[in-house]
């Protein structure tokens, strides 16, 4: 699974309050909210969302225009999924295809909540996937598409339990260690092994919050042979112990 796809797994609506609304004039749109434009158009920071498009707002922004929309709000759950918000712009527009506007206009917002939540999830994943394929962006997102750094991110994300070293990661990329270290740090912002630790601790936080696995079992799943070394690394990254995460991480999810 690609790293970006893995981040999308945590994007799930639960009681998103899907509704239909008419926007006329200037309004502040709250984040994290998705707007499927059924008619009209909206201007958000110079990005134009027309009938059939999907607008995703991560941070509260002002929108101008006249449009009928179907909207729903999200709460990103889990340490892995929350990394997604760090790479998204304040607002993005995913162009629709023929028939999207008519489909959005026919959505029955009075359908059971679980049905509307899953429909909103489909809208969101399609919009983010389309935006990523089209834009890539900068930093971490651009690194995913890079011929050297991309395979390394893929390896880390798909096999966090493996005993990775700079040499073995460089082998995945087919380059020298110094080449990987320099390019990875320039594109991602931190050295490869630092990123690996951050990723492992994000995965571990979700495992601790969502399952009854022991600390030792979670440690093994993210590449640590013993719970002591894992607990020390976890506390350095998160500021609290794996045991405390049982309640802290679950409460914030």
pLDDT tens figures, 53-93: 999 888 778 889 899 999 888 777 777 777 766 777 888 89
pLDDT score recorded for residue 125: 83
For domain 3-135, the question of CATH label 2.60.120 is answered with: yes
Identify the weakest region by mean pLDDT among 76-85, 220-229, 240-249.
Answer: 76-85
Residue tagged 């006249």 (tokens): 66
Summarize the confidence of residues 156-182 as an average pLDDT: 95
Burial 32-47 (b: 16+ CB within 10 A, else e): bbbbbbbbbebebeeb
pLDDT score recorded for residue 8: 67
Confidence of residue 7 (pLDDT cuts 50, 70, 90): low
Does the structure show a pLDDT above 60 at 12? Answer: yes
pLDDT score recorded for residue 167: 97
How crowded is the C-beta side of 64, counted as CA atoms within 13 Å? Answer: 4
pLDDT score recorded for residue 2: 61
Distance between CA 202 and CA 24 in Å, rounded?
41
pLDDT score recorded for residue 1: 44
Summarize the confidence of residues 34-63 as an average pLDDT: 90
Query: What is this structure's pTM?
Result: 0.72
Does the structure show a pLDDT above 60 at 252? Answer: no
pLDDT score recorded for residue 36: 93
Identify the weakest region by mean pLDDT among 49-63, 118-132, 190-204, 210-224.
Answer: 118-132
The length of the chain is 253
Summarize the confidence of residues 161-177 as an average pLDDT: 96
Summarize the confidence of residues 205-221 as an average pLDDT: 90
Q: Could you state, in order of their start, the residue ranges of all structural domains in the chain? A: 3-135, 144-252
For domain 144-252, the question of CATH label 3.40.50.720 is answered with: no
Query: How much is the mean pLDDT over the chain?
Result: 86
The helix (run of H) or strand (run of E) holding residue 86 is none
Confidence of residue 180 (pLDDT cuts 50, 70, 90): very high
User: Are 74 and 34 spatial neighbours (Cβ–Cβ below 8 Å)?
Assistant: yes
Distance between CA 79 and CA 147 in Å, rounded?
27
Cα 175 to Cα 24, 145, 147, 150, 240, distances in angstroms: 55, 16, 10, 13, 37
Instruction: Centre a 10 Å sphere on the Cβ of residue 68 and count the other Cβ atoms it contains.
Output: 18
pLDDT score recorded for residue 9: 65
Does the structure show a pLDDT above 70 at 4? Answer: no
Distance of CA 218 to the CA centre of its chain: 22
Does the structure show a pLDDT above 60 at 104? Answer: yes
Cα 66 to Cα 69, 93, 98, 147, distances in angstroms: 10, 16, 21, 43
pLDDT score recorded for residue 236: 93
The helix (run of H) or strand (run of E) holding residue 101 is helix 100-106
pLDDT per position as a tens digit, 122-158: 888 888 878 877 766 566 777 888 899 999 998 998 8
């Amino acid at each position: 699974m690609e790293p970006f796809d893995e981040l999308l797994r945590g994007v799930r609506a639960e009681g998103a309050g899907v509704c239909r609304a008419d926007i006329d004039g200037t309004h502040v749109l709250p984040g994290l909210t998705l707007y499927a434009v059924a008619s009209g158009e909206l201007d958000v920071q110079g990005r134009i969302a027309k009938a059939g498009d999907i607008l995703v707002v991560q941070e509260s922004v002002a929108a101008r225009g006249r449009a009928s929309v179907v909207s729903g709000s999200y709460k990103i759950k889990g340490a892995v999924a929350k990394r997604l918000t760090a790479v998204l712009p304040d607002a993005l527009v995913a162009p629709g295809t023929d028939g999207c506007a008519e489909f959005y206009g026919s959505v029955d917002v009075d359908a059971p909540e679980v049905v509307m939540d899953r429909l909103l999830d489909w809208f969101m994943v399609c919009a983010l996937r389309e935006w990523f394929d089209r834009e890539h962006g900068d930093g971490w997102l651009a690194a995913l598409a890079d011929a050297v750094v991309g395979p390394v991110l893929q390896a880390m994300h798909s096999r966090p339990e493996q005993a990775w070293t700079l040499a073995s990661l460089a082998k995945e990329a087919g380059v020298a260690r110094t080449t990987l270290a320099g390019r990875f740090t320039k594109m991602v912002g931190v050295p490869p092994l630092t990123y690996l630790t951050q990723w492992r601790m994000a995965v571990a936080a979700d495992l601790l919050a969502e399952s009854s696995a022991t600390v030792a079992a979670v440690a093994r799943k993210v590449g640590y042979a013993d719970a002591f070394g894992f607990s020390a690394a976890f506390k350095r990254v998160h500021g609290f112990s794996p045991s405390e995460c049982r309640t802290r991480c679950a409460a914030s999810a």
